[in-house]
């Protein structure tokens, strides 16, 4: 079964830049769109990146997404970190009609 693996946790200081990876277990991650979601404790997920690198309206341009075909991975980069960015982040993609979520990454801003 296709899986998306993320680092369990990352931490960085306010104002810095952090990148969260999402690595596919097989195939070509570039063959399907990747989405990224932010989830704060006690709240529903919200989308920060869709279709690999598109930002929904209202999401600051500090959030960006990219694909690295050579590593079969997607990345979410958050620049100019703010304390409000502290949350869990999940990637998501597809495999033959099946929706697959990444393992999730806890971002700590300290």
Partner 1 sequence: EVQLEESGGGLVQPGGSLRLSCAASGFTFSNYAMSWVRQAPGGGLEWVSAISDSGAMTYHADSVEGRFSISRDNSKNTVFLQMNSLRAEDTAVYYCAKDGYLVWGQGTLVTVTS
d(CA 30, CA 33): 7
Tell me how far, at minimum, the Cβ of 15 lies from partner 1, in Å.
Answer: 29
18 or 48: whose CB is closer to partner 1? 48
Can residue 100 be called a binding residue for partner 1 (CB under 8 A)? yes
CA dist., res. 34 & res. 52, Å (int): 5
Choose one: 23-31, 63-71, 77-85, 93-101; the region binding partner 1 (CB under 8 A). Answer: 93-101
- Rounded CA gap, 38 and 62, in Å? 14
DSSP 3-state of 2: coil
Residue 56 binds to partner 1 (criterion: CB under 8 A): yes
Q: Which stretch binds partner 1 (CB under 8 A): 9-17, 44-52, 68-76, 77-85?
A: 44-52
**Which is closer to partner 1, CB of 85 or CB of 95?**
95
In contact, 12 and 61? CB cutoff 8 Å: no
Neighbouring CB atoms inside 10 A of 74's CB total 29
CB of 88 to partner 1, least distance (A): 8
């Amino acid at each position: 079964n296709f899986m998306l693996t993320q680092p369990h946790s990352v931490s960085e200081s306010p104002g810095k830049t952090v990148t969260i990876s999402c690595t596919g277990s097989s195939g070509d991650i570039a063959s399907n769109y990747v989405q990224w979601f932010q989830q704060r404790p006690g709240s529903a997920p919200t989308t920060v990146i869709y279709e690999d690198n598109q930002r929904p309206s209202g999401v600051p341009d500090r959030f960006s997404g990219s694909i690295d075909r050579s590593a079969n991975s997607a990345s979410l980069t958050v620049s100019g970190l703010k304390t409000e960015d502290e949350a869990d982040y999940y990637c998501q993609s597809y495999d033959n009609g099946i929706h697959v979520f990444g393992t999730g990454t806890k971002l700590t801003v300290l």
